Amino acid sequence: MSAYVPYYTLFYVTLEQHTEFNTASGEQGNDVDIALAKDGNDNYIIRGTTLAGAIVDQAKKLGMPVEYDISGEAPAQDKNNKPICIPSRLRVDTASLKTPLHDAIVRQHVAIDEVTGAAKPNALFDVQVLPKGNLWHCFIEVNMIDCTPRSIAPDELVAHVLHYWQTNYLFLGHRPVAGYGWFKVQQAEVVTLTDEHVFDYPNSTYDFTQNKAQLCKQLQVQSTPLDQFVKNKTLADAPVLRKTLRVTLSAGANLDGSGEQWGVDGFFIGGHSQDNPESIHELPDSVLSHFSTGSSYKLQDQDTPDNFFVVDENHQPYIPGASIRGVLNHQLIRANESKIAHSLFGSLNKQNGKVQSSNLYIKPAYLQHDDWQAMVFHNHAEDEFTAGVYGSNKFVRTAVVRGSFVTELVFEYIKDPDASNAEHMKSEVKAQYDALCNALQQGAQSQLAIGAKQWVDSGWLRWKVQEQKGEGADND
């Protein structure tokens, strides 16, 4: 009796969402500039094409040869023609989320002038996101029929990528460089089918894409944990340099050498206008309890800020990745490192006919402990001639004045496999990383202002930088 021939390899994957996430839909009929994509049943989705593209991209970064029957694109036969599209062996289902942990949130963004560090005019836009914590169930089918011999089989390629994502972040959707769409593989099971199952799969009677247990029972097969599937299968050196930095940004009292307090460093990063409460008493008690009012004074309606600081789905303050990214980019420009900044942060200005993608991914800085404090400030504009109050121009603002917020910076540089000058590339990578570390060192000295009111009293936080070692960080 002949041995069974490989037929299909199926992957049942659970992705854990570590940051807010957006995969954009069309603009028509949406109230926000970049809305979340949904299916016909009004469920939020991750498109199969989005995850498939991430698998192919990550495989290349890990040094695995990606054949044409995986990428779905073969070189053109003539240099004047477009590449030839061919069927891919990968089929990735669109993942849907029927019941998210939290309702969608709208975030407000503004483009920053990289030279001045101020907001660019006419560059305000908003993004609809799903808060972190959701679990997405994904299905990947790999066609192994008549697969030609190669250094790494298509199902092994997918397995290695998923295994890598168990300890390293997967970036999906809109603007992962600014902290959106960071995932990890929480769990993955593999089912291997052979030609004995040719009449059982696929089967229109059963939805095997959503029910692994039903498939195993119906076809009388066993699933294999991902770790066991990739066991004893090694990869060549990856052509990607990756360093992960853990950065803590702290607000709070400044102390001198004798322990005496001489000032407070806080920050304010505004949220979307639709999140502003009409009265400060609309805030939940879990938020109001963190406002310092001095003695026995209780906050009144007149203490309601004109703008409120941005909070996460749990009503806790945080620092968006885009805010950290803008500050670091501006710092490199100030240090006359514009060329390095354009390589590190990306640029739409074409060089050699191509735009430059970013080599730096920045996660939002989330509150380390439930230990934070905020204050309300009453301000007025000053008449520059009389030095008195300018008319009735009074406003109320707020700031976070105590708390520690932790972010991760992933510096990722892809080695060009066709590079003729490896030493030049090595020096370029070092220059980018050194420039980034120099900018972060300014933050360690509380010289990187973040958020609004920087030149008054806000944003001068203390940055503590630590390079990650070991699992989850490749430090070449």
* HEC secondary structure over 408-446: EEEEEEECCCCCCCHHHHHHHHHHHHHHHHHHHHHHHCC
The CA angle 251-254-259, to the nearest 5 degrees, is 135
- Of 247-256, 389-398, 456-465, the one with minimum mean pLDDT is 389-398
Residue 417 has pLDDT above 70, yes or no: no
Q: Each residue of 263-298: pLDDT tens digit?
A: 788 899 988 877 788 888 888 888 888 887 767 788
For residue 290, how many other CB atoms are within 10 A of its CB? 21
Q: Cβ atoms within 10 A of the Cβ of 448, count? A: 23
**CA-closest candidate to residue 171, choices 240, 91, 255, 256:** 240
What is the Cα–Cα distance from 80 to 87, expressed in whole angstroms?
A: 22
Q: Who contacts 50 (Cβ-Cβ below 8 Å, separation ≥6)?
A: 23, 172, 173
Q: What residue ranges do the domains of the chain occupy? A: 6-238, 242-467
Question: Residue 473 — very low, low, confident or very high, per pLDDT cuts 50/70/90?
Answer: very low
Contact, 46 vs 136, CB < 8 A? Answer: yes
Q: Strand 6-17 and strand 354-356: pairing?
A: unpaired
Quick one: pLDDT band at residue 17, thresholds 50, 70, 90? very high
Q: What pLDDT, on the 0 to 100 scale, is given for residue 471?
A: 44
Cα–Cα dist 301/31, whole Å? 30
Give the position of tokens 């659970």: 14
User: What's 368's DSSP letter?
Assistant: S
**Terminal Cα-to-Cα distance of the chain (whole angstroms):** 50
178: Cβ–Cβ under 8 A, 6 or more apart, which residues?
Answer: 320, 321, 322, 325, 362
What integer pLDDT is reported at residue 421 of this predicted model? 55
Alpha-carbon span 329 to 346, nearest angstrom: 10
Position 333 confidence tier, pLDDT thresholds 50, 70, 90: confident
Which residues, in sequence order, are CB contacts of 26 under 8 Å at separation 6+? none
**How distant, in Å, are the alpha carbons of 21, 39, 74, 240, 280 from that of 62?**
24, 32, 21, 7, 51
Cα distance between residue 162 and residue 165, in whole Å: 5
Q: Which residue has the higher pLDDT, 347 or 246?
A: 246
pLDDT above 80 for 356:
no
Over residues 333-351, the mean pLDDT reads: 77
Cα 472 from Cα 164, distance rounded (Å): 9
Tens digits of residue pLDDT in 224-239? 999 999 876 666 556 6
- pLDDT tens across 215-225, in order? 999 899 999 99
Task: Please state the rounded mean pLDDT for residues 137-150.
Answer: 93
Give the SS3 label for residue 294: coil
Percent of the chain scoring above 90 in pLDDT: 36
C-alpha distances in angstroms, 271 versus 11, 76, 276, 354, 369?
Answer: 39, 48, 8, 34, 21
Over residues 46-75, mean pLDDT: 88
Mean pLDDT of the residues in the chain: 84
Number of H helices, E strands in the chain: 9, 21
Whether pLDDT at 361 is above 90: yes
* Mean pLDDT value of segment 352-375: 85
Q: What is the pLDDT of residue 196?
A: 92
